[in-house]
Structure 1
């Protein structure tokens, strides 16, 4: 197999997926990230890309040139902008994949931009953290060519399950899951801070374990606090997309908005505390 892949966004997902995919015969990868243009962070990020065997492109246009598959792995609030920048450089022989955690309506907006030049569009919904499984993380896909694209990437070791030819089903599945996971993370932040401040953590953990004996509540709290501290800003953008989806369904999205606010505020608080140290 000979396959040229481009990543728009070279963060955690782009870097991890690139390293693992480049280990497969015939795969070539280019990437572009807006931080490449940052005078402080750009040089190191580009060196990291080159060290991984990835061509560090000077623009989204350059990354897309000659690519069979373009994968958008940016933040939720940048998904449409990334598509707008890439779309003029895509043609009918190319496939644009959006794996960002955005609402079905936002996915369809991305698809509209991509489709103007005749390129194929497929949505991906990543259904678990990528840090452990990498390219083997469970992914749901959707779109007219989702089955074909999924087969191509599954042959490289990915675990993609096509769920619909329509755009929106996969992303709705992802965001409904996120309401639970990101909501629990926000709960664990307030639970930990409040119970430690009040000096009641041991008693509360004992009670939780009695009510839900299958849960390692202490471990869950530590892991989720760490996730919010590290990824809360990105998770907040995702939960605002979840809130948007809930409103689009004619329901009350205020809880998802509150989860977004708490994810963001704690991440910023933790960042300030780290800088102060």
Structure 2
């Protein structure tokens, strides 16, 4: 059964979430959120995006037809339970599109949680940078028996792409893709810090400029943008590791990436936000700060 979608709910209005909401609002789709337990930064981003703020999850689910979950991986099941409980309490129903960077198995767990309350579930995975109004937008891959219902968002500025009726396929694409992009950023960060610790940064950079100039350019762009997001990427690397383990591959490479992002999260770089950054704005600055954070005397 096709559900008429005339309003969207969204959690949470962080970097990606508020950008998705802003594009939808700009293109005529009302977007609601709830800021209970959220930071002042989230409130500011929600306001900047033009989102309607509801006082509770119960109020939120009564106002929307489609709910988008865009939260750090560790919060995916918790948010699903909050929405499921609110739906049960209010006796309403909606479509739940999980857009989080979680493994197919975690996605199926989220689906079981929300479907138990009578909610229609769609698996989703976002690939690309946060969307810009009248600019580039990421792809939102969706899968599941009801995936086509999410394509209504294509009329409101987004790029939703169904890839079949199997729950877990959209999240699986996201996991494999992020293993390359964010996994490579972790590896590049680690090897550059190792070179710095050994006093070899200059020599390594000279060789990269000779034989790996494209990779060096990639690291110059990707590593400085990583620190404010590192705390979220720990959970994402763990979910990718779980994905690989579930199909019989080693999880160890991506668990190492999770360790790298954990280290970043323990440094002053973790206190920076995209809007107010003063440190870690170049590859070398990030490398020097992380080198200082290494245990000494080994």
Scaled by the length of structure 2, the TM-score of the pair is 0.80
Which of the numbers 75, 82, 86 marks the counterpart of 2:83?
A: 86
1:250 to 223, 248, 251: 248
Work out the CA distance in 2 between the residues paired with 1:135 and 1:124.
19
Worse overlay, 96-105 or 179-188:
179-188
**1:113 has 2:116 as partner:** no
2:164 aligned partner: 164
Deviation at 1:123, TM superposition (A): 1.4
Supply the distance in 2 between the matched residues of 1:48 and 1:269 (Cα, whole angstroms). Answer: 25
2:49 and 2:127 map into 1 onto residues whose CA distance is 26
SS of 1:123's equivalent? strand
SS of the counterpart of 1:122?
strand
TM-fit CA distance, 1:34: 4.4
- Residue 145 of structure 2: aligned partner: 144
Partner secondary structure for residue 160 of structure 1: strand
Instruction: Name 1:10's counterpart in structure 2.
Output: 13
Partner of residue 201, structure 2 = 201
SS in 2 for 1:233: helix
Gap runs ≥5 in structure 2: 273-278, 280-298
Q: Is residue 2:51 matched to residue 1:54?
A: yes
Q: CA offset at residue 154 of structure 1? A: 0.9
User: Structure 2 matches for 1:190-229, cutoff 5 A?
Assistant: 190-212=190-212, 215=214, 217=216, 219-229=217-227
Q: Using the TM superposition, give the Cα deviation of residue 7 of structure 1 relative to its aligned residue in structure 2, in angstroms.
A: 0.6
1:162-200 Cα shifts (integer Å, max 9, x gaps):
112011111111111111112211122123223334443
Distance of 1:56 and 1:145 partners within structure 2: 27
Number of residue-to-residue matches in the alignment: 267
Secondary structure of the structure 1 residue equivalent to 2:248: coil
Residue-by-residue CA offset, 1:144-172 (whole Å, 9 max, x unaligned): 1112322x011112111111201111111
Give the conservation status (yes or no) of the 8 Å contact 2:23–2:132: no
1:71 is paired with a residue whose SS is: strand
1:131 is displaced (CA, Å) by 5.7
Match of 2:187 in 1: 187
Which piece of structure 1 moves more, 191-200 or 70-79?
191-200
Q: Secondary structure at the match of 1:22?
A: helix
SS of the residue corresponding to residue 176 of structure 1 reads helix
Evaluate the alpha carbon distance shift between residue 224 and residue 52 of structure 1 in structure 2; reply closer, same or farther with a 3 A threshold.
closer
Question: Superposition RMSD on alpha carbons, in Å?
Answer: 2.6
Q: Does 1:30 align with 2:32?
A: yes
The alignment's TM-score, normalised by the length of structure 1, stands at 0.86
On the 8 A contact 2:140/2:160 being kept in 1, the answer is yes
Contact 1:104 1:167 survives alignment (8 Å): yes
